């Protein structure tokens, strides 16, 4: 039994290393320093629902799904279109999103705060007018919340659909709350400089919920699955795709990846599309007839199962666990 666990942890020799290299090339290397801040559990910590969900290979498909959902909101898409370099650096946004999620969950408390600071420095400059004439700004709590819940709901959906072991209802609620607390650090009303003063106390305050986070306290961000579902329902009338969104979808459908990597990516992309709710696909103007969604989900599941066997335990969770235990 111990040999089986050891193999599962290490993955398949040779094959696992190749897969990890390709994943790092696509999504970027580990964005945190495992030698920094020894003993720091981070803002969610070992044993948290977030560590379980984000360490699962299914989270890769969940991240692609989250980007699709973000495209479905015209104001969020306008900010990306007008201020992002995704046309000149098409993989950059994918890697930045992946780095932010991984670093915020598995990095130390100080590193999680730094990730939030980097994003917040950019947000005041991301403002303008969408094609339909509506103004937008990236630090608007309503828009911030959409970007956050698009990812959170997608990671949870991916875990439900593809992970071999499921969360309990209480663990799912905990995942939603953990992710909302991370997203709430992007709120300009939260004083990140003050949180830096004593990161050990900050870590405890975030994990225990004693830190004041306005977007969580006022219900802008969800604290449970029920609240998440209600907020998604409330956003539904705002969703739709325009020419800016279609340009982003073209990139997501066919990113500039090496052929072997693209083959795997397209399988996960198809699964991500298949896992969207029908109303979300309609908002993106994507039409799939039965049994296409189910077949796409099954295909992604098969690819993720192979990836899970090949790579073994997530390097990020191993490194973060070693740091926390140091």
Contact criterion met (CB below 8 Å) for 297 and 274: yes
The predicted pLDDT at position 312 comes to 78
The predicted pLDDT at position 5 comes to 33
Quickly tell me which residue has 């303008």 as its tokens.
Answer: 128
Rounded percentage of the chain residues whose pLDDT exceeds 70 = 88
pLDDT at 7 over 60: no
Q: Residue ranges of the domains in the chain? A: 42-254
pLDDT at 144 over 90: yes
pLDDT at 306 over 60: yes
Specify the pairing of strand 127-129 against strand 135-137. antiparallel
Would you give the distance in Å from CA 258 to the centre of its chain? 23
As a whole number of Å, the CA-based R_g of the chain is 19
Rounded to whole angstroms, the Cα distance separating 75 from 79 reads 6
Non-local (6+) Cβ contacts of 83 within 8 A are 125, 126, 128, 138
φ, ψ dihedrals at 127, nearest 5°: -155, 155
Mean pLDDT of 208-235: 98
Mean pLDDT of 284-295: 93
The predicted pLDDT at position 1 comes to 30
Q: What is the pLDDT of residues 11-56, one digit of tens each?
A: 656 555 666 666 666 666 678 898 989 999 999 999 999 999 999 9
Tokens of 197: 């003063």
**Closest residue by Cα to residue 295 from 286, 307, 303, 283:** 303
Contact criterion met (CB below 8 Å) for 55 and 317: yes
E strands of the chain, at which residues? 127-129, 135-137
pLDDT at 85 over 80: no
Rounded percentage of the chain residues whose pLDDT exceeds 90 = 74
- Count Cβ neighbours within 10 Å for each residue of 33-67 and write b for 16 or more, e otherwise: ebeebeebbbbbbeebbbbbbbbbbbbbbbbbbbb
- Count Cβ neighbours within 10 Å for each residue of 238-277 and write b for 16 or more, e otherwise: ebebeebbeebbebbeebebeeeeeebbbbbbbbbbbbbe
Mean pLDDT of 62-73: 95
pLDDT at 2 over 80: no
pTM: 0.92
Query: For residue 281, what pLDDT band results from cuts at 50, 70 and 90?
Result: very high
Non-local (6+) Cβ contacts of 193 within 8 A are none
Mean pLDDT of 162-169: 97
Q: What is the pLDDT of residues 226-270, one digit of tens each?
A: 999 999 999 999 999 999 999 989 988 888 877 878 888 999 999
pLDDT at 96 over 90: no
pLDDT-wise least confident of 155-159, 214-218, 290-294: 290-294
């Amino acid at each position: 039994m111990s040999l089986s666990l050891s193999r599962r942890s290490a993955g398949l020799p040779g094959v696992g290393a190749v897969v990890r290299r390709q994943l790092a090339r696509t999504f970027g290397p580990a964005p945190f320093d495992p030698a920094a801040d020894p003993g720091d559990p981070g803002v969610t910590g070992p044993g948290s629902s977030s560590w379980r969900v984000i360490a699962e290979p299914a989270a890769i498909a969940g991240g692609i799904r989250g980007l699709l959902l973000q495209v479905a909101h015209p104001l969020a898409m306008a900010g990306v279109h007008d201020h992002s370099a995704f046309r000149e650096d098409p993989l950059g946004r994918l890697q930045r999103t992946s780095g932010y999620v991984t670093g915020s969950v598995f990095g130390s408390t100080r590193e999680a705060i730094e990730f939030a600071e980097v994003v917040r420095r950019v947000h005041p400059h991301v403002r303008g007018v969408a094609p339909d004439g509506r103004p937008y700004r990236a630090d608007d709590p309503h828009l911030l919340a959409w970007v956050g819940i698009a990812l959170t709901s997608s990671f949870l959906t991916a875990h439900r659909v593809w992970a071999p072991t499921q969360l309990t209802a209480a663990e799912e609620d905990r995942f939603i709350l953990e992710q909302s607390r991370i997203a709430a650090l992007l709120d300009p009303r939260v004083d990140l400089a003050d949180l830096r003063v004593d990161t050990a106390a900050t870590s405890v305050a975030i994990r225990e919920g004693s830190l004041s986070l306005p977007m969580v306290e006022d219900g802008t961000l969800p604290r449970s699955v029920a609240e998440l579902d209600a907020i998604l329902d409330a956003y539904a009338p705002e969703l739709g795709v325009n020419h800016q969104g279609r340009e982003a979808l073209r990139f997501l459908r066919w990113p500039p990846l090496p052929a072997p990597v693209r083959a795997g990516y397209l399988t996960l992309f198809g699964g991500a599309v298949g896992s969207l709710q029908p109303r979300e696909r309609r908002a993106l103007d994507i039409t799939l007839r039965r049994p296409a969604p189910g077949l796409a989900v099954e295909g992604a599941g098969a690819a993720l199962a192979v990836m899970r066997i090949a790579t073994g335990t997530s390097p990020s969770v191993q490194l973060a666990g070693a740091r926390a235990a140091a």
